[in-house]
Structure 1
Amino acid sequence: MKEISFIRQNIAKWKDVEKVVDQADELDPAHLAAVYTDITSDLSFSQSHYPASRITVYLNNLASSLHNRIYKNKKEHKSRIITYWTKEIPRVMRDSQKELLYSFLIFAISMFIGSLSTLNDDTFVRLIMGDSYVDMTLNNIRNGVPMAVYNGNSELSMFLGITLNNIRVALVCFAMGILSGFGTGYIIFSNGIMLGAFQTFFYQQGLLGESMLAIWIHGTLEISAIIVSGAAGLAMGNSWLFPGTYSRKASFTRGAKRGLKIVIGTLPIFIVAGFLESFITRHTQLPDSLRLGIIMLSLTFVLYYYLYLPNTLRYELSESKN
């Protein structure tokens, strides 16, 4: 990239950074850290491509000024643990809406494929779920307890096992993003295929409604968190495939940090989903209205936290620039 193009593309952002330096004492530490990461990435790019340029000197001074304002008092606010979840995660999701959309589309398409395949091939669900699981479920249906699979173990052991496994899947989904996003896409796709086949199998047994009331008590949060973890992996993978104005190394570092923050943000959701699956889902005798209420409450949280709140921050940011 020519130096003049680099300057024109970023000059407005650098002017905003100058304002951030002046107002550093009044701004949220997480926002300062994000701005500092951004400006140091630009500095790294400039040092690599225009080492003798005045723009490199300018960016070095700007980054140094912001660094000094951030670290003149290193003491963390006690509320940081709260603002991490209420501000930092929504901010990073604001910048990851594209990856979130891609992750959702991959999952939705794979669910459709899994469902269609199960409808047209009686052996497909056995290929995906395994003969032992399908036979066990059919036996449970004959015995009048189609959701008995959730009663197999004690609540606590089930909670620990499910939660740790779901967190492992999320971390693998993120880590596979290092393979340019294709690895992450595979994890999302395989989970979507499985869910599509699973739900269609219960539809074929005339138990779609009952299965959805049971499965989506925990599945609303669990599946949503997997999709969000997919967005984290795609953010990391796309960062080195499409570095933009940054060096590939700098872009990858930014993408990896953004993805890691996203996937860490899913951990409490997996914990709550594991609790619901272990302690609530098994009680199929609960009123349908209560079970549906839990599902709708979970869905409302997901839509608010991962879509509405980040886009509200995006709107506020655009308004402040105007």
Structure 2
Amino acid sequence: MREAAFIKQNKDNWLKFESLLKNYSQIDPEVLSNLYIQITDDLSYAQTFYPKSETHIYLNELSVSAHQKIYKNKRESRYTFINFYRRDFPLMFYKYQKHLLFSFSIFLLFALVGAFSAASDGDFVRLILGDAYVNNTIANIGSGDPMAVYKEANQTDMFLGITINNIRVSLTAFSLGLLFGLGTLYIAMQNAIMLGSFQYFFYDQGLLWESARTIWIHGTIEISVIIIAICAGFVMGQSLLMPGTYKRLDSFIRGAKDGLKIVISSIPFFVIAGFLEGYVTRHTEMPDWLAILIIASSLLLIIYYYVILPHQLNKKYAKAD
């Protein structure tokens, strides 16, 4: 990119940052820190492509000034952990809403493929879910308790095992983004096809509602945050495939950091999903209204945190700027 085009593309952000520095005491330090990261990225780019230019000198001086105000005088907040979940992550995640929509769409597509394949081939469900699970479930259906599989294990053991396994799947989906997103795509395909064939299996047994009102008690959050982890993998994969104006290494570092933040954001939700599966789902005798309440509340929680809150915070801080 020519220097003139680089200046034209970023000049407004630089001037806005200068203005914020003049009113530093009135601006949230964390917001200023995020803007500072953008300035240092631009400085790195200018240092690589326009060394010793006026643009490089200007950005260097701006960066030094910001560093002095932000980091020398900044006291470490006792609420950093809370602020990450309450504000910092949702604000950052706003820019990845399209990645989230893409991840959801891919997952839904493969889930439909799984359901269609199960409907077309009688052996497909056994291929995907395994003979042991299918035979056990058919036996449970015959005994009048089709969801008995959720009652077989000890509650605490089930909670811990499910939570750890789901976090492992999440980290795998993210880390395989290193393969330019193809590894993440495979994890999405694998889990979505399994879900689609699993749900069709109960439909074929005439138990669609019974399975849905039971399984989605924990599955609403569980599947949602698996999609979030897939989103994290695609974020990292895109950083390698399409670095934009950054050097590929710099782009990858940014993508990996943001992807890791996305995964970290999902951990409390995996704990909630594990708790629900271990302690709540097993109560298949609960009334429909209670199951629906839990499922609806879980869905609203996910939508609020990953979609509504990022838009609210972005709008709030855009006004502050």
1:121 corresponding residue in structure 2: 121
Displacement after TM superposition at 1:170 (Å): 0.6
Amino acid at match of 1:143: S
TM-score (norm 2): 0.97
Amino acid at match of 1:75: R
2:206 corresponding residue in structure 1: 206
2:268 corresponding residue in structure 1: 268
Q: How many residues are treated as equivalent by the alignment? A: 321
Q: Retained in 2: the 8 A contact 1:92–1:262?
A: no
- Structure 2: distance between partners of 1:152 and 1:221: 22
- Structure 1: distance between partners of 2:28 and 2:318: 17
Q: Deviations over 1:276-312 (max 9, x none)?
A: 0000000000111111100000011111111111122
Displacement after TM superposition at 1:317 (Å): 4.4
2:250 corresponding residue in structure 1: 250
Q: Deviations over 1:246-279 (max 9, x none)?
A: 1111111111111111110000000000000000
Amino acid at match of 1:290: L
- Structure 1: distance between partners of 2:198 and 2:306: 26
- Structure 2: distance between partners of 1:230 and 1:33: 27
* SS state at 2:178 partner: helix
Q: Deviations over 1:176-230 (max 9, x none)?
A: 1111111111111211111000000000001000101111001111111011111
Displacement after TM superposition at 1:148 (Å): 1.1
Runs (5+) with no aligned partner, structure 1: none
Displacement after TM superposition at 1:163 (Å): 0.3
Q: Retained in 2: the 8 A contact 1:118–1:197?
A: yes
Equivalent residues in 2 for 1:16-27, closer than 5 Å: 16-27=16-27
Displacement after TM superposition at 1:318 (Å): 4.5
Equivalent residues in 2 for 1:1-322, closer than 5 Å: 1-320=1-320
* SS state at 1:96 partner: helix
Cα distance, 1:71–1:314 mapped onto 2, change above 3 Å: closer
Cα distance, 1:196–1:87 mapped onto 2, change above 3 Å: same
Q: Retained in 1: the 8 A contact 2:43–2:56?
A: yes
- Structure 2: distance between partners of 1:22 and 1:202: 63
* SS state at 1:146 partner: coil
Displacement after TM superposition at 1:97 (Å): 0.5
Amino acid at match of 1:233: G
* SS state at 1:244 partner: coil
Displacement after TM superposition at 1:27 (Å): 2.9
Please give the root-mean-square deviation of Cα atoms over the aligned residues, in Å.
Answer: 1.3
- Structure 1: distance between partners of 2:294 and 2:250: 43
* SS state at 1:266 partner: helix
Q: Retained in 1: the 8 A contact 2:87–2:313?
A: no
- Structure 2: distance between partners of 1:19 and 1:263: 34
* SS state at 2:185 partner: helix
Amino acid at match of 1:173: A
Q: Retained in 2: the 8 A contact 1:213–1:291?
A: yes
Q: Which moved more, 1:168-177 or 1:68-77?
A: 68-77
Report the identity percentage.
49
Amino acid at match of 2:19: K
Runs (5+) with no aligned partner, structure 2: none
Displacement after TM superposition at 1:22 (Å): 2.4
Cα distance, 1:223–1:23 mapped onto 2, change above 3 Å: farther
- Structure 1: distance between partners of 2:71 and 2:17: 16
Amino acid at match of 1:316: K
- Structure 1: distance between partners of 2:315 and 2:262: 20
Displacement after TM superposition at 1:41 (Å): 1.0
Q: Retained in 2: the 8 A contact 1:6–1:245?
A: no
Q: Retained in 2: the 8 A contact 1:228–1:262?
A: yes
Displacement after TM superposition at 1:320 (Å): 4.7
Displacement after TM superposition at 1:124 (Å): 0.7
Displacement after TM superposition at 1:74 (Å): 4.1
* SS state at 1:51 partner: coil
Amino acid at match of 1:128: I
- Structure 2: distance between partners of 1:317 and 1:74: 20
